[in-house]
Amino acid sequence: MSVFASTFSGAAAGALQSLAERLRQNTVQVRASQSGGGSGVIWRADGLIVTNAHVARGKRLAVELADGTVLRARVTDRDDARDVAALQVDASALPAATIGDSNTLRPGHLAFAVGNPFGVVGAVTSGTVFAAGSSGGRGMRWIQADLRIAPGNSGGPLADARGHVVGINSMIYGGLAIAVPSNTVVRFLRGTIARPRLGVVIEPIALRAGGDTSLGLLVFEIEPDSDAERGGLLPGDVIVRIGAQGVRSPEDLPDALAQAGSGGELHLRVLRGGAAHDVSVALRSLGAVAAA
């Protein structure tokens, strides 16, 4: 029994160390021209960095990667109300974070924060989600986590037990870490980055089965030579699952497109002729923001 416990503990410790190291690679230091700075998350491999608006102050910014490489950064957009900003660096093949769905968080879930508090590079702390949908000013909803962060953690990732980034740490309030939900960041980025175009016209419909009602997205029309057509979607298909999640809102599809990004892949489950089919759509970049 003691041998089993020892083996299990070793395996668990190794998994946590691997998760922490992966998150450290996804996290950068953000330095402003004025005093101060913070952390950021490599959101996309093509140089898109997400941080807090209050971190991205000043005309001259620099980003330091986990390997010590320092890059100049420019602010491409910011939202002070949500305390989120998008930076761009001239780089490619960066170790981008895996972005999670903040809507899946529940009180008690494990959470991890990575940042650079008080000059300590790549510090990792852990705790639990305290509240996942607390309302703030202007209708903003925040994640609260019972874990330790300090000045320098701002703009860094809040991750779940799988190492998926579900929030951007913003502040400390009442002893709790307060983070911007990842889904809020995705909606913010939708207006600042080119995202793939699926090439469909959809209509939300109610699906009823066994007395239960769920939401589906009816594919009403498909654009010729679009990613949707090339991926095998057909008019009349009803999208019932996007990735690992069932459809909960018409916004789920554009959110998934933004998360997948150019060159990514969208995994869908559709109802076709009364049967379920899995469809994988390879996404091309069209170089401009477009409707789903």
Digit-coded pLDDT (tens) for 140-198? 478 999 999 988 899 999 999 999 999 999 988 878 999 999 998 998 888 655 567 78
Q: Do 115 and 185 reside in the same domain of the chain?
A: yes
> Is residue 97 in a domain?
no
- Active-site residue, 255 included: no
Domain holding 247: CATH number? 2.30.42.10
Q: Do 84 and 109 reside in the same domain of the chain?
A: no
Q: Do 108 and 184 reside in the same domain of the chain?
A: yes
> Is residue 143 in a domain?
yes
Amino acid 119: pLDDT: 77
CB 262 within 8 A of CB 283: yes
The single residue of 83, 101, 227, 252 carrying the catalytic annotation is 83
User: CA dihedral defined by 7, 13, 19, 23, rounded to 10 degrees?
Assistant: -160
- Residue ending a domain, among 158, 189, 220, is 189
Q: Considering just the CA atoms, what is the radius of gyration of the chain in Å?
A: 20
Amino acid 229: pLDDT: 94
> Is residue 287 in a domain?
no
Amino acid 173: pLDDT: 81
- Residue ending a domain, among 157, 189, 221, is 189
| Three-state DSSP state, 148 | coil
Digit-coded pLDDT (tens) for 115-139:
998 878 889 999 999 988 654 433 4
Q: Looking at the predicted structure, is the pLDDT value of residue 214 above 70?
A: yes
Name the residue range of residue 7's domain.
2-89
Q: Where are the beta strands (DSSP E) in the chain?
A: 27-32, 37-42, 48-51, 61-64, 70-79, 84-89, 110-115, 123-135, 141-146, 157-159, 165-173, 176-181, 200-209, 212-222, 238-242, 245-246, 265-272, 275-282
* Global pTM exceeds 0.85: no
- Active-site residue, 226 included: no
Confidence of residue 41 (pLDDT cuts 50, 70, 90): very high
> Is residue 291 in a domain?
no
CB 166 within 8 A of CB 100: yes
Q: Do 185 and 118 reside in the same domain of the chain?
A: yes
Other Cβ atoms less than 10 A from the Cβ of 158: the count is: 33
Other Cβ atoms less than 10 A from the Cβ of 225: the count is: 9
Q: Do 165 and 241 reside in the same domain of the chain?
A: no
Burial of 3 (0-12, 13-18, 19+ CB in 10 A): exposed
The single residue of 54, 101, 160, 182 carrying the catalytic annotation is 54
- Active-site residue, 225 included: no
Structurally, how many domains does the chain consist of? 3
Q: Do 156 and 219 reside in the same domain of the chain?
A: no
The token duo for 175 is 């002893």
- Residue ending a domain, among 126, 159, 189, is 189
Phi, psi of 232 (to 5 degrees): 100, 5
Percent of the chain with pLDDT strictly greater than 70: 87
The single residue of 39, 46, 102, 154 carrying the catalytic annotation is 154
| Three-state DSSP state, 160 | coil
Mean pLDDT of 5-30: 81
CB 178 within 8 A of CB 142: yes
Amino acid 80: pLDDT: 74
> Is residue 27 in a domain?
yes
> Is residue 95 in a domain?
no
Amino acid 192: pLDDT: 54
Q: Do 39 and 73 reside in the same domain of the chain?
A: yes
Q: Do 250 and 174 reside in the same domain of the chain?
A: no
CB 102 within 8 A of CB 184: yes
CB 207 within 8 A of CB 194: no
Domain holding 111: CATH number? 2.40.10.10
